[in-house]
Amino acid sequence: MSLSKSEYNQSTYFYDEIMNSFKMDFSFYEDLIAILKPKSILELGCGMGRLFPIFMTEAKEITGIDLSDEMIAQGRKYYTDHKFDNTLIEFVNTDMCSFKTNKKYDLIVFALSVLKHLSTDRERLEAVQNAKEHLNKDGFIVIDHKAFLYASRSTDWIDAKDSLVVDWVPPSVALDGYQWKKSIEGQKDILQWRYNDAEKTHFEMKFTTYRYDIEQLIEHLGQLELSHERILTEWGCNGLSNQGKRFIGLASYRDNKYSLKQELLEKVSKRNERLWSDHDLYLEDNKS
């Protein structure tokens, strides 16, 4: 689809401001990095490196892998322009299922349900196996995963300014005109975004991801001889909770007996003022 200049501006605004303003998972990564103090981090499906500023508080070496050359180009530009001299940041434009390097990492990250971008169990197993092969002996793989993305009761276009998106973004980000729509077709979990005014739709994009149940993820971790610890089950606009349906947890080699769960939960409970209740979220699957 070719975009006119104003459409292009609206779509870059969408990526730069709306997508990159997503911060609901930040406190979890801040706490994890503060406890684990990983010196090297690999993120699979890193996008533009949204989480790298958090990683940089401890890591001296960060590698981000992404299949999208546009995401990689934007990430490289941002982190080159801002000159973060104390951390070596490398973006690699390749597939997380087949990526290979001689390096091993203290922490490997699958953030924002990135495994849902893979359409088959074979690919999901390859991606996690690949993570395992790049993991230091005492390291951890952190996985934040949900079977379905962006829950919504409605299957019609929703004005972003009247929806849960308002909780993602700072008040300075203008949402007028942006709309989103959720649909499920078989195993496909589809999210559409558009910029629409009274006269026409200026740009429209579609993200297709694939249902990947948490039980299946846990079974795959077992098949790959990784042990796992589920720590939290939801993040929201005011903090983290253990009352949701996400898998927010850690996997490691079976002989790594170090558990981070207690320390992480203590940190979360210290953020008491930011804990949210189910009532605050508009979760479609609350009913089941």
Ligand X SMILES: C[S@@+](CC[C@H](N)C(=O)[O-])C[C@H]1O[C@@H](n2cnc3c(N)ncnc32)[C@H](O)[C@@H]1O
Q: Looking at 32, 42, 114, 141, which residue binds ligand X (CB under 6 A)? A: 114
Q: Looking at 32, 42, 56, 96, which residue binds ligand X (CB under 6 A)? A: 96
Comparing CB distances to ligand X, the nearer of 4 and 98 is 98
CB 217 within 8 A of CB 115: yes
Comparing CB distances to ligand X, the nearer of 51 and 128 is 51
Comparing CB distances to ligand X, the nearer of 42 and 51 is 51
How near is the Cβ of 68 to ligand X at its closest, in Å? 4
Report the DSSP beta bridge partners of residue 179: 159, 194
How far apart are alpha carbons 145 and 56 in whole angstroms? 23
How near is the Cβ of 74 to ligand X at its closest, in Å? 10
Residue 97 sits at the vertex; the CA angle it makes with 92 and 103, to the nearest 5 degrees, is 55
Which residues ranging from 56 to 85 are in contact with ligand X (CB under 6 A)?
65-68, 71
Write the interaction track for ligand X spanning residues 33-52; mark x where CB under 6 A is met and - where it is not: ------------xxx--xx-
* All residues at 6 or more sequence positions from 22 whose CB lies less than 8 Å from its CB, including other chains: 50, 112, 168, 169
Comparing CB distances to ligand X, the nearer of 33 and 51 is 51
Burial of 24-54, coded b for 16+ CB within 10 Å and e otherwise, reads bbebbbebbbeebebebbbbbbbbbbbbbeb
How far apart are alpha carbons 51 and 10 in whole angstroms? 24
CB 137 within 8 A of CB 103: no
Q: Looking at 33, 107, 111, 217, which residue binds ligand X (CB under 6 A)? A: 111
Report the DSSP beta bridge partners of residue 143: 110, 249
How near is the Cβ of 25 to ligand X at its closest, in Å? 7
How far apart are alpha carbons 106 and 224 in whole angstroms? 18
Comparing CB distances to ligand X, the nearer of 51 and 226 is 51
Q: Does 93 bind ligand X (CB under 6 A)?
A: no
How near is the Cβ of 257 to ligand X at its closest, in Å? 29
Considering only 34-42, 108-116, 166-174, 221-229, which stretch makes contact with ligand X by CB under 6 A? 108-116
CB 180 within 8 A of CB 157: yes
Comparing CB distances to ligand X, the nearer of 96 and 264 is 96
How far apart are alpha carbons 8 and 3 in whole angstroms? 6
Comparing CB distances to ligand X, the nearer of 119 and 233 is 119
Q: Looking at 117, 134, 146, 182, which residue binds ligand X (CB under 6 A)? A: 117
Q: Angle formed by the axes of helices 121-133 and 214-223, to 10°?
A: 50
How far apart are alpha carbons 251 and 268 in whole angstroms? 19
Given the rule CB under 6 A, which residues bind ligand X? 45-47, 50-51, 65-68, 71, 95-97, 111-112, 114, 117-118
